[in-house]
Amino acid sequence: METLFVTGGAGFIGANFVLDWIRETGGRVVTLDQLTYAGNRHNLDDVADDPRHVFIHGDIRDRALVDATFARYRPDAVVHFAAESHVDRSIHGPAAFIETNVVGTFTLLEAARAYWMGCGASERARFRFLHVSTDEVYGSLGAHEPPFTERSPYAPNSPYAASKAASDHWVRAYHHTYGLPTVTTNCSNNFGPYQFPEKLIPLVICNGLKGEALPVYGDGQNVRDWLYVGDHCEALRVVLERGRVGETYNIGGDCERSNLAVVHTVCALLDELRPHAAIGDRRALVRFVSDRPGHDRRYAIDAGKIRAELGWRPRETFEGAMKKTVAWYLAHEDWVAGVISGEYRDWVERHYQRERAGL
């Protein structure tokens, strides 16, 4: 039975991945997560009593803990999700992004290298270090430029993107220098269940449900390439199984939408699934607020390599997956209430007050 060492498995994509992996493959997972504001133990409730899952509360920068995890569970692969992941927070407080995304990835690489060097020949040959990264490392596209390929130059623009780009380079160097069997994926914007409500789609669902303002940065015409999280998780399983060592794979939904179009889609679904006479048409709740500093205009992914080499393509349509996602949030209002801590309320207050003041 295969054993995965998953970092950040209590966050949005990590939790979806762990739940899907155990359900789809029957394999074993050891999750290491620090449970920051973005991590939630309850995201993994469905496997809480499953003997195939172990949860460890801890920090990827804790070398002794990471070493002990490798030694005790002897994983076949690492799947590295743990990160600070919100661009707006990286603008307010970039230091945490260096700590987790760069120092944390370095610590994990060092521990993985030591473990891998000590493995027998067959374990060494099987081992993989899968680094989960983002399309934001490639910077911003003009309206008519072709989508990012794996050969696009790195041009990160936000502190978040810079920290992920740095971690990608460290992973690359560990393969090139030490032969560590790494694979890196660069994925576009995800949406789906368990996404923390600071990100655009769950924020709009949660605010729209209550009839509160829907903050749209700038002119709302920034474009993102959206992918349902379950499709991302399937792509990661395929890369783990058949991806070539030392390679990078772009993952995307071939689904470019302006932010305003995304917000309008969510509004229409809320009006359909949870109509409210006093709120009326939720599109009227949109408020254009001051733009994010350095806001990337457009991301788009060319997923031709993973499609041709590994046969992966998304299963879900944007509209179908968005309907499932809105329905999930409507059925899990208690989950939303549970993850909204005092810290998160303070963040919303600070961030959107600043936006409102146009600072």
Interface positions with ligand NAD (CB under 6 A) = 7-8, 10-14, 32-36, 38-39, 59-61, 81-83, 85, 100, 104, 132-134, 164, 187, 189-190, 196
Using CB under 6 A as the binding rule, whether residue 344 contacts ligand TYD is answered as: no
Task: State which residue has the least CB distance to ligand NAD.
Answer: 11
The site map against ligand TYD for 198-237 (x = CB under 6 A) is: -xx--x-----------xxx----x-x-------------
Segments in 26-78 forming alpha helices (H): 63-73
**CB of 200: closest distance to ligand TYD in angstroms?**
4
Output 92 or 126, the one with its CB closest to ligand NAD.
92
The site map against ligand TYD for 81-110 (x = CB under 6 A) is: ------x-----------------------
**CB of 50: closest distance to ligand TYD in angstroms?**
31
Looking at residue 233, its amino acid is C
232: Cβ contacts below 8 Å, ≥ 6 apart:
13, 16, 187, 190, 251
Instruction: Determine which one of 76, 84, 136, 168 is catalytic.
Output: 136
| 84 tagged catalytic | no
Size of the site for ligand TYD (CB under 6 A): 12
Output 41 or 124, the one with its CB closest to ligand NAD.
41
Among 40, 259, 265, 325, binds ligand TYD (CB under 6 A): 259
Rounded to an integer, what distance in angstroms lies between the CA atom of residue 188 and that of residue 194?
A: 17
Using CB under 6 A as the binding rule, whether residue 339 contacts ligand TYD is answered as: no
Strand bridging mode 3-7 / 256-258? unpaired
**CB of 119: closest distance to ligand TYD in angstroms?**
36
Rounded to an integer, what distance in angstroms lies between the CA atom of residue 156 and that of residue 255?
A: 22
DSSP 101-133: IIIIHHHHHHHHHHHHHTS-HHHHHH-EEEEEE
Partner whose binding site includes residue 90, from ligand NAD, ligand TYD, none (CB under 5 to 8 Å by kind): none
Partner whose binding site includes residue 87, from ligand NAD, ligand TYD, none (CB under 5 to 8 Å by kind): ligand TYD
Based on the number of CB atoms within 10 Å of its own CB, is 290 exposed (0-12), middle (13-18) or buried (19 or more)? middle
Rounded to an integer, what distance in angstroms lies between the CA atom of residue 284 and that of residue 216?
A: 12
Strand bridging mode 223-228 / 256-258? antiparallel
Cβ atoms of 230 and 220 closer than 8 Å: no
Output 102 or 180, the one with its CB closest to ligand TYD.
102
Output 28 or 131, the one with its CB closest to ligand NAD.
131
Number of Cβ within a 10 Å radius of residue 116:
20
Output 83 or 87, the one with its CB closest to ligand TYD.
87
Output 112 or 270, the one with its CB closest to ligand TYD.
270
Q: Which of 138, 125, 230 is CA-nearest to residue 184?
A: 138
Partner whose binding site includes residue 81, from ligand NAD, ligand TYD, none (CB under 5 to 8 Å by kind): ligand NAD
Number of Cβ within a 10 Å radius of residue 284:
10
Q: Where are the beta strands (DSSP E) in the chain?
A: 3-7, 28-33, 53-57, 77-80, 128-134, 182-187, 189-191, 214-217, 223-228, 248-251, 256-258, 286-289
**CB of 19: closest distance to ligand NAD in angstroms?**
13
Adjacent-strand bridge partners of 182: 129
Partner whose binding site includes residue 12, from ligand NAD, ligand TYD, none (CB under 5 to 8 Å by kind): ligand NAD
| 160 tagged catalytic | yes
Using CB under 6 A as the binding rule, whether residue 38 contacts ligand TYD is answered as: no
Structure tokens given for 256:
């470019």
Cα three-residue angle 29-250-184, rounded to 5 degrees:
45
| 349 tagged catalytic | no
Binding residues for ligand TYD (CB under 6 A): 87, 189, 199-200, 203, 215-217, 222, 224, 259, 292
